Amino acid sequence: MPSRSNASRVFHRALAHDYPEAVSGRGCWIYDAAGRAYLDASGGAAVSCLGHGDRRVAQAIRRQLDRLAYTHTSFFTTGVAEELADRLSAAAPGGPWRVFFVSGGSEATEAALKLARQIHVERGQASRDHFVSRHFSYHGNTLGALSVGGHAGRRKLYGPILSPNVRHIPPVYAYRHQQAGETAEAYGLRMARALADVVDEVGSDRVIAFIAETVVGATLGAVPATPGYFREIRSICDRHGVLLILDEVMCGMARCGSRFAFEQEGVVPDMITLAKGLGAGYQPIGALMVNERIVGELERGSGAFQHGHTYVGHAVACAAGLAVQEIIEQDGLVERVARTGGALAAILRERFGDHPHVGDIRGRGLMLAMELVEDRADKRPFPAAAKLWARVKATAMDEGLICYPSGGAADGTNGDHVLLAPPYTIGANEIEELVRRLGRALARALSGIA
């Protein structure tokens, strides 16, 4: 594998790792400097939803660059930011919405947490100083986002400097925690009640907001809620004046077969965070969508959101986001995701449904995952020391397949799953190729440990 790492001055996250040099991309494929082709079955980290090299997005970016690259939002607005906000607001049920554009998912989370606190203060409820979130969640890597995040491994090093004012409740994770004889609905209600219990414990005048991924992404691996769960969560939030923030950084923007994942849950949150599929990787862009009701309160109050960054509302990023949203609409990609996701799930079940080490195949739309276990009968995970997820990542890469395996889903330390989030444009032949390469990668990763 050609590598730049020995002489590299880039601070790569894995210091002893050899990275091939990516030089181009077209559709679902990325090519390295040696001419090797990689099938991008996870869009990196569920980002490249249009695939690579879409000339329409590149053109929109160039057009904006030719006009104006940057202006600070304390002086100006831009046409592309206005148009993108209009489109997102029109697409999201329960609006209208105002949209605060940032550079990625973590910034969107930070903005949501800070706005939620500000709103309560402006309502005269400054006593509200706690967030509630879920174990096994991920909302980003900045300190605020990591504080509400529930992935033990990602939090551990920074534990002493994270906010102590966060309470975590269990997620909905039916494969492992739905009890025998319990219906999916009853299980979901049981999990939702954990929110009511925590609010009672902390004090209903102390809780700012509840934040959750509508469909859990990287940490558990494409886990949707059970029917009724979010409706119950919404009603608990309403009862206690707690804001509901849904993190759709990974699962939104058509990834799950609807423009917003929460459309399938029958609820409307107070705030929505977006990133990844919003710009499809063509530009770094994220967004916080805030229900107009809340913005109205702010308007009648202090009249300003106190939080901000230099690159808020970046014109080139908004131009890219706008082009991506237009393409999703013009090319009928929401429907295509629902259709193609069903086909990919069916093929995964056909090929791996009886695999002795595939415990669960799950997900929505083109956000799918397989959970790997040592023993299917008792769902026992492989020990963390086997690093199965890292082995799968390496063998897949070697097979020319990019997927997104992670560890810790079973109990925070043990457990392995492989997340698949291919471009919405993936074709039938590429799905076949994906499954073939994944099968070979899995077999190689398991050999010697299974």
Ligand X SMILES: Cc1ncc(COP(=O)(O)O)c(C=O)c1O
Angle at 265 between CA 264 and CA 269, to 5 degrees: 115
Closest CB to ligand X belongs to which residue?
105
Choose the binding region for ligand X from 242-250, 297-305, 329-337, 429-437 (rule: CB under 6 A). 242-250
Q: How many residues bind ligand X (CB under 6 A)?
A: 16
Cis upstream peptide for 20 (omega within 30°): no
What is the smallest separation between the CB atom of 173 and ligand X, expressed in angstroms?
A: 15
188/286 with CB nearer ligand X:
286
Query: Is position 257 an interface residue for ligand X (rule: CB under 6 A)?
Result: no
Given 30, 209, 242, 275, the residue binding ligand X (CB under 6 A): 275
CA atoms within 13 A on the CB side of 2: 10
Return d(Cα 367, Cα 218) in angstroms, integer.
10
Choose the binding region for ligand X from 90-98, 134-142, 182-190, 298-306 (rule: CB under 6 A). 134-142
Radius of gyration of the chain (CA): 22
Query: DSSP assignment of 340-365, as one string?
Result: HHHHHHHHHHHHHTT-TTEEEEEEET
Return d(Cα 411, Cα 136) in angstroms, integer.
9
> Which of 59, 17, 70 has the alpha carbon at shortest distance from 315?
70
Return d(Cα 246, Cα 319) in angstroms, integer.
25
Choose the binding region for ligand X from 5-13, 171-179, 244-252, 260-268 (rule: CB under 6 A). 244-252
What is the smallest separation between the CB atom of 45 and ligand X, expressed in angstroms?
A: 5
Given 134, 139, 307, 336, the residue binding ligand X (CB under 6 A): 139
Query: Is position 104 an interface residue for ligand X (rule: CB under 6 A)?
Result: yes
> Which of 299, 338, 135 has the alpha carbon at shortest distance from 346?
338
Query: Is position 110 an interface residue for ligand X (rule: CB under 6 A)?
Result: no
For tokens 């039916």, name the residue.
174
Given 40, 110, 213, 232, the residue binding ligand X (CB under 6 A): 213
Return d(Cα 380, Cα 373) in angstroms, integer.
6
Query: Is position 191 an interface residue for ligand X (rule: CB under 6 A)?
Result: no
247/416 with CB nearer ligand X:
247
Choose the binding region for ligand X from 56-64, 101-109, 154-162, 330-338 (rule: CB under 6 A). 101-109
Note the residues at the interface with ligand X (CB under 6 A).
45, 104-106, 109, 138-140, 213, 217-218, 247, 249-250, 275, 286
